[in-house]
Amino acid sequence: MTALELKNISVIYGENTPFRKAALNNINVSFEKGSITGIIGHTGSGKSTLASLTNGLLKPTEGEILLYGENIWDKPKEMVKVRSRVGLVFQYPEYQLFDETVESDIAFGPKNIGLSEEEIKERVRLASEFCGLTQKELRRSPFELSGGQKRRAAIAGVIAMMPEVLVLDEPAAGLDPKGKEEILSGLVEYKNAYGATLLIISHSMEDIARYADNILVMKQGEVYMQGNVEEIFMQAEKLFDANLDVPQITKLFIELKKRNLCRSNDVYTVGYAKKEIEKLIKDSENA
Amino acid sequence: MLKDVTFGQYYPGNSLLHKTDPRIKMIILIEYLVIVLAATTEIAALVSLSFTLFLITVSGIRFSVLIKSVKPLIFVLVFTAVINLFFTKADTRPLVDFYFITIYKEGIKTAVMMLLRLVSLVLGTSVLISFTTSPLELTDAIESLLSPLKAIKVPVHEFAMMMSIALRFIPTLIEETNKIISAQKARCADFESGNILKRVKSLIPILIPLFVSSI
Ligand SMILES: Nc1ncnc2c1ncn2[C@@H]1O[C@H](COP(=O)(O)OP(=O)(O)OP(=O)(O)O)[C@@H](O)[C@H]1O
Ligand SMILES: [Mg+2]
């Protein structure tokens, strides 16, 4: 089932001014329910613009956005409902924290939707679990937290609305490997538990390879490539042309293949690479 | 919300007004303001109106941009016009006399004059200074124009410096505010409905992050 669909979308910033800029050009994509799509693209390719379209913060100059088949701009009065169904976490979202305690900050979204006290409490509990926040951290002021904890609190504030589609702009940028892994696997857990759909913008090909099912490659405001992770990372040359990269491990295997040491060119996770290398060693021992 | 505020924003361009020395523009502006405010007869109003239109044409700024710069002032404009319309008294026969509402010909005249005057003030200042002069040029011009005051120990340079720093940070502040508004809207915050108390309260999630980020 298609959860979210963008049809013939174009976005032009500053129409009729000297600063006119076409940020998106006739985009057509759809995202299946329960899938994780990694969105990659060079700086300025329009990823963040695409993200702010999904929950109606930005109105497309042309085209329509369908959430489970319904155009989100049909009833602009009910945009709050759309925003609770499509959660959007901005790039470096820490600045959105404002309340006295982390707990009440996470409760901000659910409160705005108009849920009951008990329900809000339950949502805060669930969201902080998915994001790995402890009871003690919940009672502190968000301004006393470390950078990584702030990031978790901000993401929890969006998850607490229990969105059906969750869009994250660089959720793991600037975090240490462990913090990164905890946040990303928490998101996958949330997705699996509630059948949500994830869109993750990232510059890290390793993270994409590890967590995403599909990849959407943007280039200068257009969809440049689209497919599952294997299909995309197999076309390394095409990615290099868009100023993008493939995971380090894939690069290693491209080099190995150039030297005729192996045949596979679809290696993009460390786990699979290990198996391939073991196979290669066994083959050479047998020979 | 904030994205519609174009008042006080520089639009790069190549028009005659862009190229004119900002000091000359400042002097023209002062004279222009005096003329517009002093214009009480119809002839004078027409002259100042045509000068305003001349400035707009020369600046090459799009009409839609100018409309946007006046938009935030709609309330003030309408309010002034209405007050003048209903509260101007004259000895002539009223045009409308309906219970407590009396409208005189003079009232209509004053209201129209007031409207023209205010719109001219805003447009003239925008076109002469805000849209066609970069903040840097502007502070340089002010420093240069005020420099005679250095003789009596007025810290003109420091004053200009303070002004350019403040001007420099306005766009940054607007950008920051927009970012925070978007993030809170994404959490279903509602800034547009409810009574005044509720609306003021809804600003807290914007103001606190703004203060925190600027410390
Ligand atoms: N509010 C805005 N006003 C005008 N132009 C904008 C605005 N936001 C983005 N743009 C322009 O639109 C283009 C796409 O920007 P966008 O932020 O979507 O890129 P991005 O892919 O998210 O880049 P990055 O990886 O650096 O975050 C850029 O050229 C940018 O300059
Ligand atoms: Mg971006």
- CA B138 – CA B164 distance, rounded (Å): 8
How many whole angstroms separate alpha carbon A151 and alpha carbon A162? 18
Closest alpha carbon within chain B to A84? B188
Confidence band (pLDDT; 50, 70, 90) for B134?
confident
pLDDT at B4 over 70: no
B56's enclosing H/E stretch is helix B42-59
Q: Which of the listed residues B133, B164, B191 is the one where a domain comes to its end?
A: B133
**Beta pairing partners, A89:** A168
Number of domains in chain B: 2
In angstroms, what is the C-alpha Rg of chain A? 21
- B188 and A52 within 8 Å at the Cβ level: the answer is no
pLDDT one digit per residue (tens) for chain A, 287 residues: 999 999 999 999 988 777 789 999 999 999 999 999 999 999 999 999 999 999 999 999 999 999 999 999 999 888 999 999 999 999 999 999 999 999 999 999 999 999 999 999 999 999 999 999 999 999 999 999 999 999 999 999 999 999 999 999 999 998 899 999 999 999 999 999 999 999 999 999 999 999 999 999 999 999 999 999 988 988 888 999 888 888 888 888 888 888 877 777 678 877 788 888 888 888 888 87
Beta-strand ranges (E) seen in A118-221 are 165-169, 197-201, 214-219
Q: Which of B12, B186, B213 sits opposite A158 (nearest CB)?
A: B186
Say whether residue B183 is in contact with chain A using an 8 A CB cutoff.
yes
Query: Does the Cβ of A27 fall within 6 Å of ligand 1?
Result: no
Residues B55 and B105 in one domain: yes
Q: How far is CA A230 from CA A99, A123, A264, A276, B141, in A?
A: 43, 36, 11, 15, 61
A86 within 8 A of A163, measured Cβ to Cβ: yes
Q: Is B215 on the interface with A (CB under 8 A)?
A: no
Q: Which ligand is nearest to the CA of A17?
A: 1
Same domain, B178 and B99: no
Higher pLDDT, A262 or B155: B155
Range 96-115 of A in CB contact (< 8 A) with B: 96-99, 108-109, 112-113
Q: How far is the CA of A270 from the centre of ligand 1 (A)?
A: 33
Residues B88 and B60 in one domain: yes
Residue B8, pLDDT score: 54
pLDDT band at B101 (very low <50, low <70, confident <90, very high): confident
Q: Could you say which of B110, B133, B156 is where a domain stops?
A: B133
Tell me the per-residue pLDDT of B12-31, one tens digit each, with 9 for 90 and over.
Answer: 888 888 899 999 999 999 99
Owning domain of residue B56: 1-133
C-alpha span between A57 and B191 (Å, rounded):
14
Question: Torsions phi, psi of B80, nearest 5?
Answer: -60, -45
Are A96 and B185 inside 8 Å of each other by CB? Answer: no
Let me know whether B14 and B118 are in one domain: yes
- pLDDT bin (cut points 50, 70, 90) of residue B5 is very low
C-alpha–C-alpha distance, residues A48 and A280, integer Å: 42
| CB A163 near ligand 1, within 6 Å | no
Asked if A157 reaches chain B (Cβ–Cβ under 8 Å), the answer is: yes
Verify that B56 and B6 share a domain, yes or no.
yes
Interval between CA A83 and ligand 1 midpoint (Å):
21
Q: Tell me, yes or no, whether B180 and B192 share the same domain.
A: yes
**Helix, coil or strand: residue B100:** coil
Asked if residue B82 and residue B17 are part of one domain, the reply reads yes
Tokens 């020979």 label which residue? A287
Domain shared by B52 and B107, yes or no: yes
Based on the fold, state whether residues B127 and B144 are members of the same structural domain: no
- How confident is residue B117, by pLDDT bands cut at 50, 70 and 90? confident
Please check whether residue B3 touches A, CB under 8 A.
no
Task: Say yes or no: B125 and B29 in one domain.
Answer: yes
Q: Are residues B78 and B152 in the same domain?
A: no
- Best probe of the A interface among B187, B202, B206, B211, by most A CBs < 10 A, is B187
Contact A95 B209 (CB under 8 A): yes
Give the end of a domain, one of B80, B102, B133.
Answer: B133
Query: Do B156 and B99 share a structural domain?
Result: no
Pocket perturbation via mutation, ligand 1, pick of A16, A48, A220 by most ligand atoms within 8 A of CB = A48
pLDDT at B90: 76
